[in-house]
Structures are given as structure tokens and as C-alpha cells.
Amino acid sequence: MIKKRWWQGLFLLLSLAALWWVLHDVPLDAVWALLRALDPRWLLLLAALNALILALFGLRGWLLARALGLELPLWRQIGYRLAAFSLSYFTPGTQFGGEPLHVHLLRRWHGFSASQALAVVGLDKMLEVSVNFAFLSAGLAWALLSGWPFLSSAWLAAPLALASLPIVWLAAIRRGWRTPLGIPWLAEAENQAAALPAAALWQALAASLITWGFLIAEYALMLQALGFRLSGEEVVLSLTAARLAFLVPAPGGLGALEAGQVWALGQLGYPPAAGLSLSLLIRGRDIFFGLLGLFFSWRNV
């Protein structure tokens, strides 16, 4: 426990140092000028797109629950995903940790058994992780081919492994393998996951890919709203840096997001104010969603 806290403290200090560096070196008057010039029509478009993305985040788990024969309204699943996100976002650590809350809410409000709730949440998270790390692998490979500094082929090993691990696990349990822990509800959850029709898995995977398409579009629209038009390759590269930042074990990737965006867009030839302005838009969106999740948790826990 002490060792874990020591590492968390170190990452928090590094994150704060990165944030200080950004705020110290980036001209804040230029950032304010970019944000002040935002056209409200762009903000309305981004709000509408985020509402659609929010619905898509709940769609995958809803499809999985339906395939298992479980009743779960889509709007409730969206709320549970928000609640889980808020817990992960506002607490130290990487963007995991809200899943036990998700399981609890499914059991409390819909009468799911422990194995049923774990099967839905586990499959939902595993497909999300697989697609997320597949994107990171592609983005890092692209950055490596583009000659970005500090990168090597070794950087691809971890995201590729994390992208393939859920798929390997799912293939293994469908062939009869079970986690050798002797926990009855875990074994039953794996039995239910293994019995899931292949069509349902493909639908859930398609929902993940569609969601990522809208996430890329939203990121590009944020940049356009600030007055910067990036090519498709530049969008993927800078978005990769943003997603990597959220893996830093600090609340909401604090400091890492801001420093990463300033650095990534700087590598592409854009001014530091562009990276910090974009980070503030992303931060505002995530804090808003996080507060919605906290409100939903307060009303339902």
C-alpha cells in the first residue's frame, strides 16, 4: 500500500510539474484570444456531437445485455457509464476503477446477479480496451513512421498486447477455458460471456468502431472551432497523444494532457496556444460529463 501511494504521489508531482511548465511557457493571452473568438455555433455543434457520442458509449453495453436476455433501458446504461467514468476521472489512477460501481448499479436497480452484471460490464470494458489500444497502436506506428522524437518500435509492444489480450481471453473461454480461481460467480460470468452469440459481439464491436469515428470527428471539429485545420494524419497523431495522456495515473490525466497536446501540436508546427486551448476544451467537456456522472451516482447509489 505504501509503495502504491509512493508511485501515485510521484506521478502526481510529475503531472503538476508538467502543468506548471505549460502554464509558464505558453502565452496565456494568446490562449484567451483563441477561446474568446469561439463561435457559439461551433459550440452548439460540438454539444450535439457529444450528445451522440454519449449515447454511443452506452450502446455497446446495452447490446450485450440484450444479447444475454437482460432488461436494461439504454438511458440507464448511459447513466451508469457516466457514473463509472466520473469515478475513474476524478480519482488518482488510470482511466479504470469505475467498473465495480457499474456492477453495483446493475445489481441494485435491475436485479442482475453478480455473474450477469460482471459479464455485461466485463465484456463492455474489454471491447472498449481492445479498440482503444488498437487505435493507440495504429497512432504510435504512424508517429514512428513520421519520425517523431523519443519514439521507438518498443513503444508498440504494450498497446498491441493490451489490444489483443481481451480478444485472446474471449476466444479462450469460447473454447472452454476458464480462469483457474475457483470463484463460482466468476466462472458463471465466463459461462455467460462464452455463450454470447457471435452476432452480438460483432454488433458491440461495430458500436465501438463507430464511436471512435465520432471521437476523431469531434477532435477535428474542436481544432476547426479554434481556427486550425489539420490533415487526417495530423488529427490521428495529436489525438494519440491525448489518449496516451489519460493513461497517466493522475486524476483526468492532469498536466499530461496539457503538456502532451502542446508538445504534439508543436511537433506538427502549430503554436503552443493551440495545444493548451484544445486541452481546455477537452478538459471542460470531460469535467462536465464527470459532474453529470457524479449527479447520477448521487441519485442512484
pLDDT, one tens digit per residue, over 200-222 is 999 999 999 999 999 999 999 99
pLDDT in tens, 220-274: 999 999 999 999 999 999 999 999 988 888 778 888 899 999 999 999 999 999 9
CB 297 within 8 A of CB 86: yes
Q: Residue 5: its pLDDT value, please?
A: 62
Give yes or no for residue 74 having a pLDDT over 70.
Answer: yes
Q: What pTM does this model have?
A: 0.91
Q: With contact defined as beta carbons under 8 Å apart, do 258 and 276 qualify?
A: yes
CA distance 189 to 106: 14
| pLDDT at position 8 | 61
How does the average pLDDT of the chain come out, rounded? 90
CB atoms near residue 136 (< 10 Å): 22
The residue ranges of every structural domain in the chain are 42-300
The more confidently predicted of residues 153 and 281 is 281
* Nearest of 247, 267, 268 to residue 257 by alpha carbon: 247
pLDDT for position 183: 84
Take residue 147 and report the three cell numbers written for it.
Answer: 519520425
Q: What is the DSSP string of the chain?
A: -HHHHHHHHHHHHHHHHHHHHHHHHS-HHHHHHHHHT--HHHHHHHHHHHHHHHHHHHHHHHHHHHHTT----HHHHHHHHHHHHHHHHSSSSSS---HHHHHHHHHHHH---HHHHHHHHHHHHHHHHHHHHHHHHHHHHHHHHTT-TT--GGGGHHHHHHHHHHHHHHHHHHTT---TT--HHHHHHHHHHHTS-HHHHHHHHHHHHHHHHHHHHHHHHHHHHTT----HHHHHHHHHHHHHHTTSSSGGGTTHHHHHHHHHHHHTT--HHHHHHHHHHHHHHHHHHHHHHHHHHHHH-
- Burial of residue 127, with CB atoms counted within 10 A of its CB: 0-12 exposed, 13-18 middle, 19 or more buried: buried
Q: CA distances (Å), 111 to each of 18, 78, 200, 301, in order?
A: 45, 18, 22, 14
What's the longest Cα–Cα distance across the chain? Answer: 61
Dump pLDDT digits (tens) for 17-51. Answer: 777 878 888 999 999 999 999 999 999 999 999 99
